[in-house]
Amino acid sequence: MRAIQRFGKQLQRLRTNRGLTQEQVAVTAGLSRTFLTRLELGQHDPSLSTLVRVAKALRVSVTELLGESASAKQWWQVGEARFATREEAEDHARTEGEMFIARYQNNPGGPERRLLPVRESK
């Protein structure tokens, strides 16, 4: 499978895991639904600005959108959603009404998980 097809499958997986339609993501990212469909089918190479806009619409990092977050040394998670920073995870947790976020850190023996309370917003 080509890299662009893997990206398309990752984009579709992230979108459907969040219960979002192509139309919802496209509107939020400022794209047409047809263009987003082509991205999911691996028919278009997205520009950097498109990657950033789609990642923001899905509330994930560009790294996760590219399917590379599993190799990160540390990441934050709320439910199935992964984030590069604690702040992003807490913002998402607040919108979901969650009280805790999980911090994962890759160690030689495997990932270590630690639950932390969501801090009050500033």
Amino acid at 66: L
66: its two tokens: 């590219």
In a domain, 122, yes or no: no
In a domain, 110, yes or no: yes
pLDDT for the residue 64: 83
SS3 call for 52: helix
Domain identity same for 58 and 76? no
| Chain center to CA of 78 | 11
- CATH code (residue 42): 1.10.260.40
Contact 98, 80 (CB under 8 A): no
What region, left, alpha or beta, does residue 19 occupy, with left being phi > 0 and alpha being psi -120 to 50 degrees?
left
In a domain, 43, yes or no: yes
**Residues of the domain holding 51:** 3-65
Placement of tokens 């977050």 in the chain: 69
Domain identity same for 9 and 56? yes
Threshold 0.85, pTM exceeds: no
In a domain, 92, yes or no: yes
- Residue numbers in the chain where pLDDT is lower than 70: 1, 68-72, 122
